[in-house]
Amino acid sequence: MEIVIDAHNVSKVYNPETIPVHAVNNVHLHVERGEFTALVGPSGSGKTTLLNLLGGLDRPNEGKIVINGTDITDMKENQLIDFRLNNIGFVFQSFNLIPVLTAKENIEFIMLLQGASKKQRDERVQTLLKEIGLSDKTNTMPSQLSGGQQQRVAVARALASKPQFILADEPTANLDSKSASDLLDIMAKLNKEENMTFIFSTHDSRVIERARRVVTLVDGRITSDTATFQISH
């Protein structure tokens, strides 16, 4: 299997000069293409910090992180920005849509940064809106969408750049049960049909029961890493 994320001896320490907090402590993690993996653990366990490290949003104090064969650990900031743009999709708990842009404009924003043509953007956005079931919301503003619809647009935006993998930080936390289930159905379908790799940071049992691999963190360390029996829906 092809490894898309390879983290070696990764540690992140906050306040190292005063009262050190080991948010991530000597973690080894390999993620293969096509995984549907949940990082779980209590609040303060380090799961979100680890997700941010894997996505290049934060830097480790020790260890190295290799994404699809490229070591991002010591990249200069401008190189890292370009690398994230072209290789990693992000879905956040708070949706993070740009309020003055329509659903279409939010989805194509990263493609604009990549320099994609209008034809490429239009075709990609149309495909993604169909996949997330919002073809009729092309020109709708975020404020006119439900929370579940906004998060679906956020997923489409993350997919627009055709990334190596998607990192999703508590993507269902602000959603009701039906919206969360619908969102997970979409992501599971993309995972199965397009072999898109998803890594979640979550404490939501709805996400955990869908995951095919569950990595548990406690006090910044991986305490278990297990393949799970996936419940059919």
Taking the C-alpha atoms of residue 229 and residue 217, their distance in angstroms, rounded to an integer, is 20
Q: Check if the beta carbon of residue 65 is closer than 8 Å to that of residue 59.
A: no
Domain boundaries, the chain: 3-227
Which whole number is the average pLDDT over 162-171? 94
Confidence (pLDDT) at 228: 66
Residue range 85-137, pLDDT digits in tens? 999 999 998 889 999 999 999 999 999 999 999 999 999 999 999 999 999 99
The pLDDT value given to residue 83: 95
Pairwise CA distance, residues 180 & 198, whole Å: 16
- Determine contact, residues 186/159, Cβ cutoff 8 Å: no
pLDDT at residue number 46: 94
Average pLDDT taken over every residue of the chain: 93
pLDDT band at residue 201 using 50, 70 and 90 as cut-offs: very high
Domain covering 3-227, topology: Rossmann fold (3.40.50)
pTM of this prediction? 0.91
Q: Is 104 helix (H, G, I), strand (E, B) or coil?
A: helix
pLDDT of residue 94: 87
How does pLDDT run across 39-80, given as a tens digit for each residue? 999 989 999 999 999 999 999 999 999 999 999 999 999 999
